[in-house]
């Protein structure tokens, strides 16, 4: 009885084992299928999809709209396996692959006024220099006044030039004479009826000569009107004539290494400044109303001289000996304007 009872349970356990094996295999199969399905899903976002190689090949192919040789750099994206090139530092010049709307840097932007033409630059410099140096009488300006006349004798006057070779000369009114700045200036004088003459300023017309007034030599006045007219309304302008040929320099009587006065003669344009070379460099001398530039301590006397006209041109004269009251050629001349 006991043996029979014990044999029945063993048989039952054997059946459960036999049936449990297929069930376990089925479960394992289901787990494998689920695992494979999950593996496929996770692979889609892993960067290593099954179609990655095909995608890379498609991206590396150039577009054919312009042909392989006609593709622009921006039309061909870089290979996904190649590192992106490091950016090139900007030099102010747009890259060939830059879009058409990109703007160059301010440094490379052309400026219409940054570099004017040589003629414009020269005109601007000339105008600025003339305005700074001219004093009361400016180039290109028309002045109104009256003309009177005087007996000029040999043509000498307050400018200390000495006798004149011709008497087409005039005395400038005290105000525009401006401590001899007008000395040597060439002036075109016109009347209302169109008559005109050119005179050189060699003298000063003292007060009450009014600003704008010119006291012409009798010889000059007679070319405009009869001397009996007395006062003649005029306009006048500064000139830069074709002559004379060259300038000269003269040391004043009494000049020495201890004191000297220097004068410029025969200059085409009015003289604005005179300098002498000293141990400390160029030194500008003070001008007198009798048209000499003075070095009260003798500094620079007998050395190089630098002369500047009202247009800003500066000429250096060397080799002028300290010889009082002797006219010495400077062998230079200001440019015509």
Question: What is the phi/psi pair of residue 110, to 5°?
Answer: -65, 150
Mean pLDDT of 114-135: 50
| Beta-ladder partners of 171 | 203, 215
For residue 286, the SS3 value is strand
Least Cα distance to 177 among 153, 152, 206, 154 occurs for 206
Residue 4 above 90 pLDDT? no
Residue 15 above 90 pLDDT? no
Least trusted range by pLDDT, from 14-28, 59-73, 141-155, 185-199: 59-73
How would residue 132 be classed by pLDDT, with cut points 50, 70 and 90?
A: low
Residue 27 above 90 pLDDT? no
pTM over 0.75, yes/no: no
Mean pLDDT of 118-124: 48
The rounded distance, in Å, linking the Cα atoms of 332 and 334 is: 7
Least trusted range by pLDDT, from 12-21, 65-74, 235-244: 65-74
313-322 pLDDT, tens digit each:
999 999 999 9
Residue 156 above 90 pLDDT? yes
User: What letter would DSSP give residue 73?
Assistant: G
For residue 203, the SS3 value is strand
Mean pLDDT of 253-258: 98
User: What letter would DSSP give residue 267?
Assistant: -
- Of residues 135 and 261, more confidently modeled: 261
CA 271 → CA 10, 244, 293, 296, 310, distances in Å? 141, 14, 11, 20, 6
Q: What is the pLDDT of residue 245?
A: 83
Radius of gyration (C-alpha) of the chain in whole angstroms: 50
For residue 125, the SS3 value is helix
Nearest-10 Cα torsion for 273, 175, 140, 220: -100
Q: What is the pLDDT of residue 243?
A: 80
Mean pLDDT of 74-102: 34
- Of residues 97 and 33, more confidently modeled: 33
Residue 24 above 70 pLDDT? no
Average pLDDT over the chain reads 74
Residue 164 above 70 pLDDT? yes
- The answer to whether the CB of 181 falls within 8 A of the CB of 249 is no
Question: Which residue's structure tokens are 């000498």?
Answer: 156
Q: What is the pLDDT of residue 29?
A: 56
The rounded distance, in Å, linking the Cα atoms of 50 and 52 is: 6
How would residue 238 be classed by pLDDT, with cut points 50, 70 and 90?
A: very high
Cα 302 off chain centre by: 38
How would residue 228 be classed by pLDDT, with cut points 50, 70 and 90?
A: very high
Helix (H) or strand (E) holding 32: helix 2-43
DSSP line for 104-119 = --GGGS--TTTS--HH
Least Cα distance to 305 among 285, 290, 323 occurs for 285
Q: What is the pLDDT of residue 187?
A: 98
- Of residues 224 and 100, more confidently modeled: 224
- Of residues 215 and 2, more confidently modeled: 215
């Amino acid at each position: 009885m006991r043996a029979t009872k014990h044999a029945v349970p063993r048989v039952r356990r054997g059946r459960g084992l036999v049936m449990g094996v297929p069930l376990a295999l089925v479960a394992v199969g289901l787990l494998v299928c689920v695992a494979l399905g999950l593996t496929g899903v996770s692979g889609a976002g892993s960067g290593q999809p099954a179609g990655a190689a095909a995608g890379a090949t498609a991206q590396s192919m150039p577009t054919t709209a312009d042909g392989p040789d006609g593709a622009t750099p921006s039309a061909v994206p870089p290979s996904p396996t190649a590192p992106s090139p490091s950016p090139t530092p900007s030099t102010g010049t747009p890259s060939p692959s830059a879009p058409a709307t990109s703007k160059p840097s301010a440094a490379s932007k052309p400026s219409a006024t940054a570099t004017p033409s040589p003629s414009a630059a020269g005109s601007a410099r000339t105008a600025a220099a003339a305005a700074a140096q001219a004093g009361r009488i400016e180039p290109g300006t028309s002045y109104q006044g009256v003309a009177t006349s005087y007996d000029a004798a040999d043509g000498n006057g307050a400018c200390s030039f000495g006798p004149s070779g011709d008497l087409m000369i005039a005395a400038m009114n005290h105000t525009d004479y401006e401590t001899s700045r007008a000395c040597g200036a060439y002036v075109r004088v016109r009347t209302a009826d169109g008559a005109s003459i050119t005179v050189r300023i060699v003298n000063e017309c003292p007060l009450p000569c009014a600003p704008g007034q010119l006291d012409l030599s009798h010889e000059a006045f007679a070319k405009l009107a009869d001397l009996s007219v007395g006062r003649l309304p005029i306009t006048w302008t500064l000139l830069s004539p074709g002559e004379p040929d060259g300038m000269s320099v003269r040391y004043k009587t009494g000049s020495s290494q201890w004191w000297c006065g220097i004068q410029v003669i025969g200059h085409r344009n009015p003289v604005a400044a005179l300098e002498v070379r000293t141990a400390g460099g160029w030194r500008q001398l003070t001008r007198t109303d009798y048209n000499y530039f003075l070095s009260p301590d003798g500094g620079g006397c007998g050395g190089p001289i630098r002369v500047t006209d009202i247009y800003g041109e500066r000429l250096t004269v060397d080799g002028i000996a300290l010889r009082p009251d002797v006219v010495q050629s400077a062998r230079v001349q200001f440019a015509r304007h």
